[in-house]
Amino acid sequence: MQFPRLFSSITINGMTLKNRAVMPPMGTGYGNTDSTVSDRLVAYLSRRAQGGAGLIITEVCAVDPRGKGFPNEIGIWSDAFISGLARIPDALHHFGAKVALQLHHAGRETFEDATGAIPEAPSAIPSVILGQPCESMSLERIAQIIEAFAKAAGRAKAAGFDAVELHGAHGYLLNQFLSPFSNQRDDKYGGSDENRMRFVLEIIAAVRKEVGKDFPVWIRVSADELVRGGYDLSFMQKFAPMMVAAGVDAIHCSVGIYSTPGGLSVASMDTESGFNLFRARALKDVVSVPVIGVGRINNPEVADQAIARGDADLISFGRQHLTDPDFINKAYNGDLDDIRWCTACNQGCIERLSFEMKSIACSFNPECGNEYKGQHPKVDHAKRVWVIGAGPAGLSAAMAASARGHEVEIFEKEEKPGGQLLSASRPPHKSAFRDWVTWSLRQLKKSSVPVHCQHMISKEEIKQHMPEAVILACGAYPVTPSISGLDSEIVVDARDVLTGKVNLKSPAVVLGAGYVGMETADYLLSKGIAVTVLEMQAFPPVGKLTAHGYWLHKRIKTAGGRLLFGAQVTGILTGDVRYCQENTERMESAAMIVTAMGAKSDNSLEEALKNLTIPYKIVGDAKSPRRILEAIHEGHKAGEKI
């Protein structure tokens, strides 16, 4: 056994888990609009249980309609929900997993469209992120919510769940009462530490009384809010033993709230794996109950070592369960090379849910959330399918088409497959993007799909061989506006810089502050190159609300990089970049000028395919330059539908 500690059993108040791998709560948006459990949610959770985790904790489940964080959050505020919720443990128990329901009230971290009323909170202080007006809860309302948590726990037990988790983290209602950042009451629920602890302790006691002494109950906490005016780790070390005394059987140790800079509650690729384990250890040092560690952990080796050191008793693998639902079984069997690793890009999961108000997906796993649709059957007649382009869209399309039984070949004009991911994986903290390319090539090799590199397909070759279907995944090529001097020998493309095709020189001026420009600047600064970024827009195209955007801005600033906005480049002359900013002509000297000013789709073969009446699909950047999520998902869909 490669990971003996991770795959050892553990018992929490009579509930024995087959291993110490936990799938923590992650909001999906898969519930029905009436807050009942959907077929989609059951299928999604069942697929994760099938993958081998010992414990699965559902996403947030509202104890009161006014506590919903998003419109289709599942609910448990009446007995009418019990039969629907029972579908979850019924399905997951079939795979040997234990399942807990997470009980939740969003407090001020929600909006009126979700709750049907103005959000409620300890104090009438709007959410820093959402800015929604909210009202202070009366003593009568506090008592009602305490009872709501207790009754919800009783319903969860009646529905067949093995345990409940109280959501006391990430800036939601329980967390709000604990924190001077959000609680400015002057009654028995505010003011001193003891008063701010009262609400949570009363909920724990009420839940314990409702479910009895032998039903596992625990709480998820943010061990440190990491915001000015919030509580810190020393507060939670003081509070943790009090929660145990009140009746919790374990503590799930998260970190941060939604106002925390850098989005550490759902940490991005910019954060080290296991960065939060020292806080779990700090809580473990003061309590006798099991502690669950969490914080950008996707590697079973990191988890096993953490348990061995005594940092935590169980380990939560969150987004890794989205990317590869089978990774626990693969780790158990020693098939590490077959694991599709989560990159913590956040595009499909938390950012899609929070910023786009859509149900979650996974950039690298197109099947996530679509399990209820079932697998596409094998085809009756295998077609000869050409995939032109071996970037993320092309590789994804080839895997999907091959899985259906087609005879697939991939053609790539460059020396290596990977497309834009070859350059995208080079900036700091982004090497994991290359892991997906490696994983994809392994899958294609297993399926005997050839990848022909340095092979540019021509119209004549298509006409000569007449494939039965074609997927155009040719990507996009860099474009630049008409600027005098842009053809100078010191002007290079960002992708060539990142892939090592040019010699780096300092100082450098990067034209464009989108993700390509910002990440190229980050890369150059890490190599000791002085960098100035010029962006024609008045505001940063890459904002600081996303975790990756925040860390990009922070690293560039810390390393001495300069970001100049509202800078319209007018020309380049003998190493000087001339630009206009605030109606003033300015100049920046450079030994190297890097263009990162957009791209244009390459779909030059489309006309030939039309003329030859060969069925085709255009996917990824060849359709329109966008994110990796769209590229992989479009490729997969095209491959499935041939």
Q: Give whole-number Cα distances, 586 to 27, 125, 341, 489, 578, in Å.
A: 48, 44, 46, 22, 6
pLDDT score of 285:
98
302-330 pLDDT, tens digit per residue, is 999 999 999 999 999 999 999 999 999 99
Q: Provide the pLDDT for residue 174.
A: 98
Domain 375-478+600-640: assigned CATH number = 3.40.50.720
Residues facing residue 598 across a β-bridge: none
The residues with which 520 forms a beta bridge, in sequence order, are none
Name the residue with higher pLDDT: 445 or 481.
445
> 226's torsion region: left (phi>0), alpha (psi -120 to 50) or beta?
left
ω into 300 cis (within 30 of 0): no
- CA distances 634 to 408, 457, 483, Å, are 17, 21, 34
pLDDT of 632 > 90? The answer is: yes
Q: Count the helix, strand and coil residues of the chain and give each as a percent rounded to the nearest 5.
A: 35, 20, 45
Question: Residue 215 has what pLDDT?
Answer: 98
Alpha helices in 110-165 (DSSP H): 112-115, 139-158
- Is 375-478+600-640 the same fold as 10-371? no
Calpha distance 103→174 (Å, rounded): 11
Distances (CA, A) of 62 to 79, 180, 265: 13, 24, 20
**Band of the pLDDT at 574, cuts 50, 70, 90?**
confident
Give the separation between CA 83 and CA 73, rounded to whole angstroms: 17
* DSSP states of 500-526: T-S---SSEEEE--SHHHHHHHHHHHH
Average pLDDT for 55-64 = 98
For residue 386, pLDDT beyond 90: yes
Q: Please state, in angstroms and rounded to a whole number, the distance separating the CA atoms of residues 230 and 179.
A: 6
Give residue 564's Cα distance to chain centre.
30
Closest CA to 470 of 461, 481, 482: 461
**β-bridge partners, 599:** 478
Mean pLDDT within 402-411: 98
- Tokens linked to 575: 């190493």
CA distance 42 to 318: 17
pLDDT at 105: 98
Sheet holding 384-388, edge to edge: 451-453, 407-412, 384-388, 469-472, 616-618
Q: Assign 632 to helix, strand or coil.
A: helix
pLDDT band at 22 (very low <50, low <70, confident <90, very high): very high
| Alpha-helix runs per DSSP H in 413-478 | 421-424, 432-446, 459-465
Structural tokens at position 78: 């009446």
Residue 154: band (very low, low, confident or very high) from pLDDT cuts 50, 70, 90? very high
Instruction: Considering only residues 6 and 355, tell me which one the structure prediction assigns the higher pLDDT.
Output: 6
371 near 609, Cβ under 8 Å? no
pLDDT at res. 480: 85
List, for residues 192-232, the tens digit of each pLDDT value: 999 999 999 999 999 999 999 999 999 999 999 999 999 99
- Kindly provide the b/e burial profile for residues 456-488, where b requires at least 16 CB atoms within 10 angstroms of the residue's own CB: ebeeeebeeeebebbbbbbbbebebeebebbee
Share the mean pLDDT of the chain. 97
Sorted by sequence, the CB contacts under 8 Å of residue 628 that are 6+ apart come out as 345, 347, 363, 364, 392, 420, 421, 424, 433
* H/E element, 430: none
Cα–Cα distance, 350 to 359 (Å, whole number) = 9
Task: Report the CATH fold assignment for 491-597.
Answer: FAD/NAD(P)-binding domain (3.50.50)
10-371 belongs to CATH 3.40.190.10: no
Rounded Cα distance between 19 and 582, Å, is: 61
pLDDT in tens, 319-378: 999 999 999 999 999 999 999 999 999 999 999 999 898 999 999 999 999 999 998 999
pLDDT, one tens digit per residue, over 447-486 is: 999 999 999 999 999 999 999 999 999 999 998 888 999 9
DSSP codes of every residue in 168-191: E-BTSHHHHHH-TTT----STTSS
Section 624-628 average pLDDT: 94
Residue 1 pLDDT exceeds 90: no
- Choose the weakest-confidence range: 2-11, 270-279, 406-415, 480-489: 480-489
Catalytic residue list contains 172? yes
| Tokens standing for residue 320 | 């890794």
User: Would you list the domain boundaries of the chain?
Assistant: 10-371, 375-478+600-640, 491-597
Sheet holding 584-589, edge to edge: 567-573, 576-581, 584-589
The answer to whether 218 and 163 are in contact (CB under 8 A) is yes
Res 210: pLDDT: 98
d(CA 412, CA 605): 14
Of the residues 44, 172, 523, 616, which is catalytic? 172
Tens of pLDDT, residue by residue over 73-113, are 999 999 999 999 999 999 999 999 999 999 999 999 999 99
Identify the weakest region by mean pLDDT among 37-41, 168-172, 356-360. Answer: 356-360
* pLDDT score, position 607: 96
